[in-house]
Amino acid sequence: MEDLQDGWERRESRSKPGQLYYIHPESGKTQWEAPLKKRRLQDTHEEEKKVPQQASVDGGLFSGLPEASSVTCDPKTSLAEGPPKPVTHVRALHLLKKHTGSRRPSSWREKVIKRTLEEATHDIKQLRKQIAAGKTDEERQAEFERLAKKESDCSSAHEGGSLGRFGRGKMQPAFEQAAFALKVNELSGIVTSDSGVHIILRVE
């Protein structure tokens, strides 16, 4: 086994299969002769004579070696970012309209809710239009909070519809799926759950 100088590696040439060459990945240098640690004086003298020739060869035959070209990059160059991390928590506002088919057809606004699913859906669509009319994210959020305090059948109405920050598995499946699918400051479509019909605004 050859006793190579520190940092040198032996590889097989792709352009000339079966022929070996030597590469120093850190500096990007390549050469045909093995850079051995212990050399006779005569070998060292011969190597010095080949240095000028090597410099000219690097731009010719060696320039086609993918291994040599791939290690000439700045080692400090940052790697490309990987795929975005999955969302584990969101912060959202919601506005709920219950109906006779809701799990609990009662709220702080109405002791007994008598509206139908169709009526609840119509009402929430109208509220969504008002919110979506805002020109900026701030305007839409302010209008959402204002309407939630007045119109939402959820106890979160007193907090402007805020549900705080929550993770997966904390909400009803349909609601959770819709909330986590939103981008920040995005307003959902009509979301139906066992509680009723909702609109959701993700704020974080």
Render pLDDT for 106-129 as a digit per residue (tens, 0 to 9): 999 999 999 999 999 999 999 999
Asked if 195 is an active-site residue, the reply is yes
- Token representation of residue 204: 């974080």
Catalytic residue, chosen from 13, 54, 130, 172, is 172
Q: Is 158 a catalytic residue?
A: no
CA 68/CA 24 separation, integer angstroms: 9
Q: What is the mean pLDDT of the chain?
A: 82
Q: Which one of the listed residues 31, 154, 162, 193 is annotated catalytic?
A: 154
State the fold for domain 89-202.
Answer: Chitinase A; domain 3 (3.10.50)
List alpha helices for 33-187, DSSP H: 41-58, 66-70, 117-132, 137-151, 173-181
Residue 50 has pLDDT above 70, yes or no: no
Give catalytic status of residue 141 as yes or no: no
Residue with tokens 């060292």: 44
Examine the residue annotation and report whether 73 is marked as an active-site residue of this protein: no
Question: Is 154 a residue of the active site?
Answer: yes
Q: Is the pLDDT of residue 182 over 50?
A: yes
Considering the candidates 99, 156, 193, 198, report the single residue annotated as catalytic: 198
The domain spans of the chain are: 9-70, 89-202
Q: What is the mean pLDDT of residues 141-148?
A: 97
